[in-house]
Amino acid sequence: MRKEHDFLGELEVPDNVYYGVQTLRAIENFHITGQTIDHDFVQSMAKVKKAAAIANIATGRLNKKTGNALIAAADEIIAGKMLDQFPVDPIQGGAGTSINMNVNEVIVNRALEIIGEQKGRYDIISPNNDANMAQSTNDSFPTGIKVCISHKSKKLIKALNYLADELDKKAEEYKDILKMGRTHLQDAVPISLGQEMGSYASAVRRGIKRIENSVSSVHTINMGATAVGTGLNAEPEYIKMVAKTLSEVTGENFTTADNLIDTTNNTDGFADVSSAMKVTALVLIKMANDFRLMASGPRCGLNELKLPARQPGSSIMPGKVNPVIAEVLDQTCYQVIANDLAISLGVENGQFELNVMEPIMAFNLFNSMNYLTNAVNTFVDKLLIDLQPNIKQCTTWLDNSVGIITALLPHIGYENSAMLAKEAYATGKPVREIVLKKGLLPEEKLNHILSPEQMTHPGIAQ
- Integer Cα distance of 359 and 161 in angstroms: 29
**Number of residues that make up the chain:** 462
Task: Give CA–CA dist 85/177, Å, rounded.
Answer: 56
DSSP 61-126: SS-HHHHHHHHHHHHHHHTTTTGGG----SS-SSTTHHHHHHHHHHHHHHHHHHTT--TT-TTTS-
CB 264 within 8 A of CB 138: yes
Catalytic status, residue 140: no
Q: Assess contact for 221 and 244: CB atoms under 8 A.
A: no
What is the full DSSP assignment across 175-198?
A: TT-EEEEEETTEEEEEEEHHHHHH
Residue 69's nearest CA partner among 119, 33, 32, 35 is 119
Q: Assign residue 140 a region (left: φ > 0; alpha: ψ between -120 and 50; beta: otherwise).
A: alpha
Nearest of 349, 391, 401 to residue 178 by alpha carbon: 391
Degrees, nearest 5: CA angle 288-291-292: 90
Give the pairing of strands 220-221 and 255-256: parallel
Distances (CA, A) of 384 to 96, 106, 352, 378, 389: 40, 44, 49, 9, 11
> How far apart are alpha carbons 77 and 48 in whole angstroms?
12
Task: Please list, in sequence order, all residues whose beta carbon lies within 8 angstroms of the beta carbon of residue 27, skipping any fewer than 6 positions away.
Answer: 87, 88, 89
d(CA 135, CA 116): 26
**Contact between 52 and 134 (Cβ < 8 Å):** yes
Q: Of the listed 126, 153, 314, 401, which one is catalytic?
A: 314
Alpha helices in 12-38 (DSSP H): 21-29
Would you please indicate which residues are annotated as catalytic (active-site) residues? 314
